Amino acid sequence: MDAEAQDRFREFVENRSSSLLKTAVLLTGGDRHAAEDLLQNALVKALNRWQRIDEPEAYVRQILYRQQISRWRLKWRRRELSVAELPEAAAGSDGVAAADLRLLTRGALTRLTARQRTVLVLRYFEDLPEADVARILGCSVGTVRSTTHRSLARLRAIAPELGALGPAAGESQPSRDFSPVEVRP
């Protein structure tokens, strides 16, 4: 790798690492240290192909998503179980303020599997359509739909206060897709 390519890489990291790190933090359920590791690993991979990558950000993001789902799944599971307890719910779900609900949701997100959390981050943080999520993760649209549905249901099970909210569009129709939900072998 020549000096010019290194400069381009440094410039890319300087401009985009904050945005990429935000995504990585969400993928790891709020574990900043794990997120930096995740991003560092993805950037090292990108470096190995730096001169052949046309769109580095898209490339790095794709590695982030896939890496989080497949190879690091077992490693993160241990972390997921060790996160802080959910905040105490307010007295009644009707009275729970939006800020408390967001906090509850963040706590509940840490207790999803890496796969479930990644699909939610792609759908609701990155605002990607199901077809794009499927393409990025290398699975069917049906799998994205069913994983989204199950993930939201699981959030409700973890934080019953969310049950008082209206049904999500993704939940209005039960999935008829029976393909395996495992995204990668």
Partner 1 sequence: MNVEDIVRDALREQAAEQASAGPGFADRVLAARRRRRVRGLACAAAATAAVVGVAVAVPLLDFGKDDVRPADVVQRDEINAHTDQSPPRELVSVGDTVLAAYYIPRTVEHSAQRAERVRDYWLLDPKTETYEKATKWSYVAIAPGLKTAAVLERDLPVSRIGLLDLDTGKIRTWIQVDHEVAGLAFSRDGLKLVATTYDENPDQLVKMQGSESWDQKQPSSRTGFYVLDAVSGKGSWSEVKVDSDTDDPMGGGFLNARQDFSMSPDGRHVWAGNPMGDVGKQFYDLTGAEVAIPANQKYLEWYVDAWQSPSGRLVAGQFAGEKWKTSSWVLDARTGEKTEVHGQQLLAWVGDQSLIAWDIAADSKDEFRQRLVKVTIGSDKIVPLSGFLKGNDGAAGRWEPVFAER
Provide the Cα torsion 162, 167, 172, 178; round to 10°: -10
The nearest distance, CB 82 to partner 1, in angstroms, is 18
Q: Enumerate residues 6+ apart whose C-beta is below 8 A from 90.
A: 96, 97, 100, 161
Question: Tokens 């930096």, residue?
Answer: 36
Should residue 34 be labelled a site residue for partner 1 when binding is judged by CB under 8 A?
no
- Report in angstroms the alpha-carbon separations of 115 from 9, 38, 83, 185: 29, 15, 17, 13
Site string for partner 1, 74-113 (x = CB under 8 A): -x----------------------x--xxx-xx--x----
| Closer residue to partner 1 in complex, CB, 3/91 | 3
The nearest distance, CB 4 to partner 1, in angstroms, is 8
Helix ranges, 70-162 (H)? 73-81, 98-109, 114-120, 130-137, 141-158
Residues that bind partner 1 (CB under 8 A): 1-2, 5-6, 9-10, 13-14, 17-18, 20-23, 25-26, 30, 32, 36, 39-41, 43-45, 47-49, 51-52, 59, 62-63, 66-67, 70-72, 75, 98, 101-103, 105-106, 109, 120-121, 124-125, 127, 152, 155-156, 162, 165-171, 184-185
